Amino acid sequence: MKSVLESYSYIFSYWLFVWYLLFIFNITKYNPKLILQFALLHNIIVLIYQMLMNENICANGIFICGMIYLKVIPLYTIKDTKVNCYDIRVSVLVYLLFLGWLKIRNKELFEFQLNLMREFVHTSKRDSPTTIVSGLMNK
């Protein structure tokens, strides 16, 4: 059985949130704004898919809350910051590190993303949560 922390490490949103916290507390100078914007766009697309596939309004509401806490609020707090070419390079590097982490753990990105969306759509049929959102759904 895999640990909950190991499961969470597969979710790129959590990586970005940690990066955001490091930026806000001046532990890193690299701004996650651009990649957070792309991640928010991705989440909106996933949300539309889930709304079309999932009649569970509560599940979609919890997903929206997760988007607000992990993407919208961080983006709002850094909306006036500037993104430079180093931030873009680090964003690409962090994404490549994430892809490398998935590869080391024998996960394929596209398949992993599809499975994650399917798990969310069919949350009520699951035994153990993979994400915080699906964990809340099972409570």
Predicted local distance difference test score (pLDDT) of residue 70: 92
Predicted local distance difference test score (pLDDT) of residue 53: 77
Q: Average the pLDDT over each of 25-39, 75-89, 117-131 and give the range with the smallest value.
A: 117-131
User: Mean pLDDT over residues 39-60, rounded?
Assistant: 82
pTM for the structure as a whole:
0.73
More confident residue, 120 or 54: 54
Name the 3-class secondary structure at 49: helix
Count other Cβ atoms within 10 Å, centred on residue 69: 13
User: Mean pLDDT over residues 41-48, rounded?
Assistant: 86
What is the rounded average pLDDT for all residues in the chain?
78
Domains contained in the chain, number: 1
Whole-angstrom Cα distance, residue 34 to residue 37? Answer: 5
pLDDT in tens, 129-139: 445 555 544 54
pLDDT in tens, 91-108: 999 988 888 887 787 766
Whole-angstrom Cα distance, residue 77 to residue 75? Answer: 5
| Residues with Cβ within 8 Å of residue 33, at least 6 apart in sequence | 75, 78, 79, 81, 83, 87
Q: Which domain holds residue 67?
A: 4-137
Give the long-range contacts of residues 112-118, CB within 8 A, separation 24 or more: 112/10, 116/11, 117/46, 117/49, 117/50, 117/53
